[in-house]
Homo-oligomer: A and B are copies of this chain.
């Protein structure tokens, strides 16, 4: 079932995800990879982003505003959405804290908790400075 083959396009997408911290949308990935592969199509980008997500080499982040973002950092970590500029930033809690949250939740919940993802809301330091 599905012997995965190498593809230059997929490598490029993966490389971009792993070297940026901007949590790009599929379209932003497309525009970037297009610089190296002018003929690449948005469909290919979506197919590879989903594939990378499925095999655990990327993460999909959903926010209440607009399309999904993708993240090449696969270690558990969390995100912050600035209500002013809309940027999505990394926000690291140490592993112990993340586990502690999951443990606390498990106490109040009658099922199996495997992971969690927290989205923090507020205003980032850049926007605070400008106001």
Contacts and interface: CB of A to CB of B under 8 A. Distances in A.
Contacts of A111: 80, 82, 122-128
Nearest to A117: B119
A116 interface: yes
Nearest to A115: B121
A104 interface: yes
A24 to B, nearest CB: 16
B108 A114 contact: no
Contact of A120 (B83, B116, B127, B128): B116
Interface of A: 60-64, 68, 78, 80, 82-83, 91-94, 97, 101-102, 104-105, 108-128
